[in-house]
Amino acid sequence: MAGGRERILDTAYELFSKHGTRAVGVDRIIDEAGTAKMTLYRNFASKDELIVAFLEEREDRWTHGWLRAEVERRVQAPTARLLAIFDVFGEWFAREDFEGCSFINVMLELDDRQDPAREASVRHLANIRAFLAGLAEGAGIEDSDAFARQWHILMKGSIVAAAEGDVHAAARAQELGRLLLAARGVG
């Protein structure tokens, strides 16, 4: 059986992913985790610290354990991997439990640019761009950082469009991605 920290983090992960970090209170987390408030505060000094831990877990589970792993499983070539992101997204967007991007959601929930959770969100988004930049380099694209930022805009835009109800958001983003690759002489 998982320890108190793991139960709290797993519960927070599910609740924060589905409902956002500001909509979910500490009392709900400890109630659903079946732990005492003291257990939460013994493991996480504050709700903000729990949010930062959730974002780290999200990067581990979502970015590395799902998105990156799934893209790498499907295809080998860097250019094909860039495009495969949108195939994976299309399947994700069609799921009933599609919840959007927690990094974007947390970042937009917080006005204070120095908030530790906002800073963590920005850091995790930068890690996704680093993955994209590596694919761009592998595809022979010059200025891989600029390209990764463009590709990331397509990714984030498709997530927002899917949240609006656009069932074709991933395919539309992939089509724009093909244009972006062609403009860079890759394809």
Delimiting residues of CATH 1.10.357.10 domain(s) in the chain:
47-183
Predicted local confidence at residue 150, as pLDDT: 98
Q: How far is CA 40 from the centre of its chain?
A: 25
Burial class for 40, CB neighbours closer than 10 Å (0-12, 13-18, 19+): buried
- Pair 54, 21: CB distance under 8 Å: yes
What pLDDT score does 187 carry? 75
Report domain 1-44's class.
mainly alpha
Mean pLDDT across 148-174: 98
Q: Tens of pLDDT along 78-112?
A: 999 999 999 999 999 999 999 999 999 999 999 89
Mean pLDDT in residue range 99-126: 95
pLDDT at 1: 55
CATH number of 47-183: 1.10.357.10
Alpha-carbon gap, residue 32 to 45, rounded angstroms: 19
Q: What is the pLDDT of residues 39-86, one digit of tens each?
A: 999 999 999 999 999 999 999 999 999 999 999 999 999 999 999 999
Res 50: pLDDT: 97
In contact, 54 and 12? CB cutoff 8 Å: yes
In the chain, where does the domain assigned CATH 1.10.10.60 lie?
1-44
- For residue range 4-39, list pLDDT tens digits in order: 899 999 999 999 999 999 999 999 999 999 999 999
Round the average pLDDT of the chain to a whole number and report it: 96
